[in-house]
Amino acid sequence: MAREFSTVGVVGLGTMGAGIVEVFARNGIDVVAVEISAPALERGRATLKGSTDRAVAKGKLAEADRDALHERVHFAVGLDALHSVDLVIEAVPEHLDLKQRIFAELDRVCRPETILATNTSSLSVTEISVATSRPNQVVGIHFFNPAPVMKLVEVVRTVVTAPEVVADVEALCARLGKVDVTINDRAGFIANALLFGYLNHAVSMFESHYATREDIDAAMKLGCGLPMGPLALMDLIGLDTAYEILDTMYRRGGRDRRHAPVPLLKQMVTAGLLGRKSGRGFYTYERPGSPVVVPDEATPLATDGALADGARAIAKVGVVGSGTMATGIIEVFAKAGYEVVSVTRGMEKSAKVCESVKTSLNKGVVRGKLAEADRDAALGRISWSATLDHLADVDLVVEAVVEELSVKKALFASLDEICKPGVVLATTTSSLPVIDVAMATQRPADVVGLHFFNPAPVMPLVEVVRTIRTSPEATATARAVCAALGKTGVVCGDRSGFIVNALLFPYLNDAVKMLEASYSTADDIDHAMKLGCGYPMGPFELLDVVGLDVSLAIQRELYLELREPGFAPAPLLEHLVTAGYLGRKTRRGFRDHSHR
């Protein structure tokens, strides 16, 4: 029989604590909510009220249920109010000494059988537990932000936690409607261990002006389908909390430099820029605690996508190549009203590409997304050629040939001879340095990267890569073209992986290393990222879709260029590739897909 929890205590009503109170009270459990001072208590009460009022306004909670929820919560200053609760969750700031002091005090105040839990993200639950005389009754219950919304809870057992305590807490999580993964006490557990290296890397991109905050966030949202970008997420987590989590993970997790907090974070925390809770972090908010972003001095001026910042007019576009990307890109430009010249290496190839474009456009018609007349008009805008000479009068060339530097360089040298002056020359490379391609021409200022995502007609993101020689006009032109295509163009520097792959693949690689270390299972890791962080797919699902060989190649590139030891490909990934387990395409990767 699982233990009954009728009253629980929550200590600290900040970002997490207030949400945790709501989770319990919503599920019929009485809560004693405790803060350090009367003003802090009022803030916590206001957060709870704001959140439940929003739920009522959205029709997710009945008014009567909200009132009943509030009646279940008893607010108090000081830990003494927790003398008769069945379980306490501590959610005070991420400092070991503070948490140890609170646990020693809870040990004194609470009944001997009360379970004491911490919501720590990165500190050692074991070290916290030994501040009490009952370490066997101490566990980690790690909720995710916002606690009422995110489904995941990580239950952390130490080497001394009693098995029945773990079982009781697991049953409680189920009663709260949460999905739990139970794991051992390691810095960052599953989700944060995989998340924070990525977040810190995104901050370092921002700090080094590699890309703007808006572009970094848009890249991860639109390129990976994440619910929010990394910098917006840092603001939600709280920069002070994020700093402490990174710092602890760095010290506890083997001094991986990727967890050493980027210096900018410390400066922002010192300056009181804590994120949403203080009204300003990477972004500026309407007021402290508000989720509404308001424009500030760093907000880009709204342009209508037209000829901003010296962007050149583009009417006719050449697309070179006959593969998946070239085919998709031809369709995208033709549909958007551009005149397109497709150049392949032979009329047979042109005929095939033409067929593929037709098939794809027809699908649009069948699905009711494209009128027949628009399909015909799009097809009418495309001319098919097997010679580069037909690119003499285009305004923009998009190259999407095989990913080999020598081939691309030779092509750009030819384009340099054929194309008229002022043309923007773009490469769709996903892994080669754009500057290498640019230097094959006499006009490197006009060369950019236009990194489309696959499938190009569907994916809303394009990375616009500017090299150290790219002119502002060429960048502005590329960006304006993306807007005219109905896509978001994010501008970034010319580094391996651009924004998306540089942030995505090390995280996937880290997941493989975690599996390899037997810390958790592929299923639990996938669950943790989907239910704890709102990712559309878990890392192993995604690796199997992308292909393990492709992932390994990208990770190797990143490692070679950036020389970051933490980017070294996971040996397990290499072994699976060697064994021919490449993912869905070979019916076996991290999972067996032969029966699906």
The verdict on whether 121 is a catalytic residue reads yes
Q: How far is the CB of 275 from ligand NAD (least distance, A)?
A: 9
Point out which span in 137-145, 180-188, 394-402, 568-576 binds ligand NAD (CB under 6 A): 137-145
70 is catalytic: no
List the one residue from 27, 136, 145, 204 that touches ligand NAD (CB under 6 A): 145
Q: Which is nearer to ligand NAD, 35 or 170 (CB)?
A: 35
Stretch that binds ligand NAD, among 28-36, 353-361, 374-382, 566-574 (CB under 6 A): 28-36
Give residue 135's identity as a one-letter amino acid code. P
Spot the catalytic one: 122, 124, 192, 430: 192
Q: Exposed/middle/buried for 184, CB within 10 Å: 0-12, 13-18, 19+?
A: middle
Instruction: Decide if 111 contacts 90 (C-beta within 8 A).
Output: no
Both tokens of residue 477? 């032109």
List 13, 110, 195, 500, residue binding ligand NAD (CB under 6 A): 13
> Is 135 near ligand NAD (CB under 6 A)?
no
Distance of closest approach, residue 77 Cβ to ligand NAD, in angstroms = 8
Q: Taking CB under 6 A as the rule, does residue 14 contact ligand NAD? A: yes
Are the C-beta atoms of residues 199 and 261 closer than 8 Å to each other?
Answer: no
Q: Is 241 in the site for ligand NAD (CB under 6 A)?
A: yes
Binding mask 243-282 toward ligand NAD (x if CB under 6 A, else -) reads: --x-------------------------------x-----
Q: Does 76 bind ligand NAD (CB under 6 A)?
A: no
User: Could you say which of 51, 52, 121, 520 contacts ligand NAD (CB under 6 A)?
Assistant: 121
Cα–Cα distances in Å, from 139 out to 12, 78, 165, 564? 17, 22, 8, 35
Candidates 80-88, 118-126, 336-344, 560-568; binding stretch for ligand NAD (CB under 6 A): 118-126
Establish whether 142 is a catalytic residue: yes
| Interface region with ligand NAD, contact rule CB under 6 A, candidates 60-68, 143-151, 215-223, 307-315 | 143-151
Out of 29, 45, 48, 94, name the contact with ligand NAD by CB under 6 A.
Answer: 94
Residue 119 interacting with ligand NAD (CB under 6 A):
yes
| Residue 16 sits in the site that holds ligand NAD (CB under 6 A) | yes
Instruction: Determine the interface stretch with ligand NAD among 35-43, 323-331, 389-397, 422-430 (rule: CB under 6 A).
Output: 35-43
Count the Cβ atoms, other than its own, within 10 Å of residue 225. 14
Whichever of 34 and 190 has its CB closer to ligand NAD, that residue is: 34
Q: Which two tokens stand for residue 479?
A: 């960006």
Q: Cα–Cα distance between 409 and 395 in angstroms, integer?
A: 20
35 binds ligand NAD per the rule CB under 6 A: yes
With b for 16 or more beta-carbon neighbours within 10 A and e for fewer, the 497-519 pattern comes to bbbbbbbbbbbbbbbbbbbeeeb
Q: Which is nearer to ligand NAD, 119 or 356 (CB)?
A: 119
Count of residues that bind ligand NAD according to CB under 6 A: 28
The 8 Å CB, 24+ separation contacts for 451-454 are 451/498, 452/325, 452/328, 452/329, 452/332, 452/400, 452/428, 453/223, 453/500, 454/324, 454/325, 454/328
Site for ligand NAD in 489-548 (CB under 6 A): none
End-to-end alpha carbon distance in the chain: 38
- Indicate if 84 belongs to the active site: no
| 34 sits near ligand NAD (criterion: CB under 6 A) | yes
In sequence order, which residues have a C-beta less than 8 Å from that of residue 351 and are 6 or more positions away? 384
Query: Of all residues in this chain, which one has the CB nearest to ligand NAD in the complex?
Result: 14
Both tokens assigned to 120: 């720590």
Is residue 18 within 8 A of residue 24, CB to CB? The reply is no
594 CB contacts (<8 Å, ≥6 apart)? 587, 588
Tell me how far, at minimum, the Cβ of 46 lies from ligand NAD, in Å: 11
Q: Is residue 17 near ligand NAD by the rule CB under 6 A?
A: yes
Q: Does 160 bind ligand NAD (CB under 6 A)?
A: no
What DSSP character marks residue 585? G
CB contact set of 9 (below 8 Å; sequence gap of 6+): 31, 32, 33, 34, 81, 82, 85, 87, 88, 89, 110
Peptide bond into 539 cis (omega under 30): no
Helix (H) or strand (E) holding 55: helix 38-57
Identified catalytic residue from 35, 90, 94, 154? 154
Q: Which residue type occupies 2?
A: A
Among the listed ranges 67-75, 142-150, 172-180, 318-326, the one in contact with ligand NAD (CB under 6 A) is 142-150
> In the structure encoding, which two tokens stand for residue 258, read together?
């990727």
Nearer Cβ to ligand NAD, position 531 or 543? 531
Contacting residues toward ligand NAD, per CB under 6 A: 11-17, 34-36, 40, 91-94, 102, 119-121, 142-145, 237-238, 241, 245, 277
User: Catalytic residue positions?
Assistant: 121, 142, 154, 192
